[in-house]
Structure 1
C-alpha cells in the first residue's frame, strides 16, 4: 500500500513537470471523525445480544492540480479502545470486525480532470447503484481500479469502470473477493457479509461497469451494465421525475428495472452454493419497481413497490446476485430497509411507505418508514424504521448526531434468529473538517 501511495505521488509530480511545486503548495487536507455505538437486541432467548463501539478517523490529503493532474490519499484508523466483548458472540462485528483496531488506506489514486473528462487510477470510492461505498459503518468500502467520467453536456455523464479488487468496510486492505466469500478468505477480515461460498472457491477477477446518468429539468435517470466476473451480468435502469407545479406541492414518480444473467464460469453455480437456501443451475433474476410521492414544503411522503420474479431452476430461486451490497442492504431497490430487502430475502414482492420532515431551519430531520415483504423462501415479514438526523453546525461546524433504529418481525427459515423479532439501533456522532 505504501508503495502505491508513493507511486501515485511520484507519477503526478512527473507528469506535472516544472510546475511540480504547485502540486504540494496547493495541497489541502480534510477528514472526518466518527464515534459509533451499534446494538442488536434479540427476542429469541437462545441468541446473544450484540454490541460494538468504535472511534474512527478518516484523513484525506488532496494535492494541488497541475496541468489537470492531481493525487488523493485517504488513510483511516478505527479503535474500540478495549470495549469489545471477550465473548465473540456478543460483538457486532459488522461495525469494525471483531478486533480492537483496524487501520489502512481507503484511497490512493491519481486523477486527470478537465471540463470534459475525469480519469482516476488507483484505490478509490465508487458511487454507482450496485457498487458504492456502502457507508453505514465507520469505514466506507472502496475499490482498486480505473474510472472514466465523460461529460458531453451539462447534467450528462458517461462512465467506464474497471476494478480488480475491493476493500470491504471492515478490511484493512484490498482483496480478490466480495461479500459472498468467507470472512477470512485469502487473509481478509470481511465481516457482516453473506459468506455463503466455500473457502475453496476461485477468487473474483474484478468487475467491469459501463453507465450513463442524466439530471436536469426535473428528471434524474441512469442506465448501467455490470459484468461481475464469474458472478453475473446485470443491466439496471432507473428514473425519477419531479413535477414543477409552481406551488409547495412537488409530486414525483419513479421506476426501476433489473435484469441479471449467469455470465461465464459462474462461481456460485459451479460450487453449488445455496443463496437464500437454494442452489441453482444458473443466475437468472428479473425485478422491477415503482415509487410515487409528493413533497410538501419541508415534508415528503412516498410509497414504493418492488417485484422480484421467481425461477425454481435459478440460484436462490431467482435471487439477485449483488457482490458488493448483499447483507449490507445498500442496493438501490426502492423497498430496501436498513437491515435488508429483496436482495437478501430472494424472490417475492415488497412495498414501503415513507415519511420525512425537516424542521429547525433544516437542522433536524425526522424519517419514518414501514416496509412489508412477502417472499417465496423467507415468508412474510415487516420492518419499522426511524431515523433522526440532527445537524449541530451552530455548535460546531461539521458536527452531526444521528440515530437509526429498526425493528423487524416475521419471516421463516431463520430470516430472523429463531424466526423471532429483533431490534437494531445505531447511534452515530460525526464531525467533518
Structure 2
C-alpha cells in the first residue's frame, strides 16, 4: 500500500504550487473529460511440423479509456478497463490452446491503467497503473491486452528535441494477468496467484523471493535527421543494463533518403542476483554472474511510400556468465518486443542467447496508405539454440469513411530449424513452426 500512497504524494507535492496559483474550476474534471477505446478481435494459430498438438486461440476484447479534464493547475486522472472473452472457443485440451493470447481461461477482466497525472510545459509526472514506452520496458502490445506497470514516472523536456526520463516500477501486469504482481517474465506463470503466460515462465523457481521492481533513467534527442537515445535499467536482483542506440537519416530532397543506425547493450550483475542464487540454467548454461555485451548495426533507404532496411546484431559469448552471456530482459523475454534490429515476430536473440543474426525487411504502402505490405527474412546462428531462419509476411488494411478507425491485419511467420544448439533447438523436435495472427481492431 505504501507504494501507491508514496507515488500519489509525490505527484501532489509537485503540483501544489500550481494548485494555489491557478483557479481551474473542478467542473473541468467532467466537462473536459473524454472517453475512447478499442474493440479487438484476434485469432492466433500455431502449426508445428513435429508431433505435438497445434495450438490456437480466439479472443474478443474491449479496452475503454477515460480521462478527466485538467484541474488544480495541471492534474488529471486516467483509467483503462479491459474485458476479454473467448466465448467458449477454448479447446478442452490445455495443450491445444495458445495461452499467450489471453491465458487458458475463457475470460479476463481487469483495470489496466489507473493513474494520477500532473503536467506543465516542461514536466509530466504519473503515479499509479500505467503504460510505459521505453526500449526494454514497454507495452508489448501484440495481444488483446497490453502489459502495464504500477509505477512512478517523470518526463522532462528542458529544450526542444530533448526528453529526460526517470521511472520506478513496483509491480507488473503481464498481457494475460488479471492484476498486478511483484513478478517479471522469468517467474512461474502462477507465482503468488498470478496468471502470466507467454513469457519465460519457470526460469526462476517458485521458492524465490518476489521481484523488487526496476529503476530506469533515460534520455532521447532528435534533430535534423539525427536520433539518439540512452537508457540505464536496474532490474533489481536480476541485471543492470546500459543501452544506447542512434540513427541518422540523410535528407536528400528527392524523397529517397538513406539511413544508418547502431545499438549497444551491456549488462552486469547486481547484488543477490536471482539467476546466480537459484543456480538457474538459462538456455542450459548456469553462471556465477550476469554479463552481456551486444552490438548491432543497420542501414537502409526510405523511398516514397516504402522502406528497406538491413540489420545485424551480435551477442558475445561470456564464459561463466548466466546463459553463456545471454541478455537478461525481464519485461520482453519471450515476448519478442525488444529493440534489437534482428528480432522477429516469434523470437530474436534475446530468446536464443549468444550468437549473431541478420534481418532484411521491406515495407510498402498502397492505396493512399490504406494498404500496408511488409516482408522480412531473418537468420540466426547461436551457440545454445542452434541455427534457424524466419520468413515473415504482414498485410494491414485501414478503412476510411464510415469505417474509419477499423483495421484488419494478418501476420504470418514461419521458423525453420537448421541445426540444434548446445542446449536445444528453438522449435519442437527441431522442426518448423508457423505462427499466424489475424487481428481486427476498431478504434473509437
- CA-atom RMSD, angstroms? 1.7
1:306 matched to which residue of 2? 313
How far apart are the structure 1 equivalents of 2:314 and 2:78? Answer: 41
Please report the TM-score for the alignment, with normalisation by the length of structure 2. Answer: 0.94
1:167 matched to which residue of 2? 173
Tell whether 2:82 aligns with 1:76: yes
Q: CA deviation at 1:18?
A: 6.9
**3-state SS of the aligned residue for 2:275?**
helix
Deviations 1:379-423 (A, max 9, x none): 110000111111012351110000110000014213101110010
User: Which of 340, 347, 369 matches 2:376?
Assistant: 369
8 A Cα contact 2:32 2:68, kept in partner: yes
Deviations 1:21-48 (A, max 9, x none): 1112211000000000000000002x10
2:47 matched to which residue of 1? 41
Tell whether 2:345 aligns with 1:338: yes
8 A Cα contact 1:393 1:400, kept in partner: no
How far apart are the structure 2 equivalents of 1:48 and 1:136? Answer: 23
**3-state SS of the aligned residue for 2:403?**
coil
8 A Cα contact 2:312 2:359, kept in partner: yes
1:52 matched to which residue of 2? 57
**3-state SS of the aligned residue for 1:153?**
coil
How far apart are the structure 2 equivalents of 1:256 and 1:320? Answer: 14
2:435 matched to which residue of 1? 424
User: Which of 99, 123, 126 matches 2:105?
Assistant: 99
Deviations 1:178-205 (A, max 9, x none): 0000000000000011011111011110
How far apart are the structure 2 equivalents of 1:250 and 1:276? Answer: 40
How far apart are the structure 2 equivalents of 1:408 and 1:389? Answer: 21
How far apart are the structure 2 equivalents of 1:277 and 1:77? Answer: 38
How far apart are the structure 2 equivalents of 1:243 and 1:382? Answer: 31
Number of residue pairs matched by the alignment: 426
User: Which of 222, 232, 238 matches 2:239?
Assistant: 232
Q: CA deviation at 1:278?
A: 1.2
Unaligned runs of 5+ in 1: none
How far apart are the structure 1 equivalents of 2:294 and 2:381? Answer: 14
User: Which of 132, 135, 139 matches 1:129?
Assistant: 135
Deviations 1:293-344 (A, max 9, x none): 0011112111100000001200000000000000000000000000111100
Please report the TM-score for the alignment, with normalisation by the length of structure 1. Answer: 0.96
8 A Cα contact 1:319 1:343, kept in partner: yes
8 A Cα contact 1:210 1:225, kept in partner: yes
Q: CA deviation at 1:348?
A: 0.3
Q: CA deviation at 1:240?
A: 1.1
8 A Cα contact 1:302 1:353, kept in partner: yes
**3-state SS of the aligned residue for 2:310?**
strand
Q: CA deviation at 1:222?
A: 0.3
Tell whether 2:337 aligns with 1:326: no
8 A Cα contact 1:40 1:422, kept in partner: yes
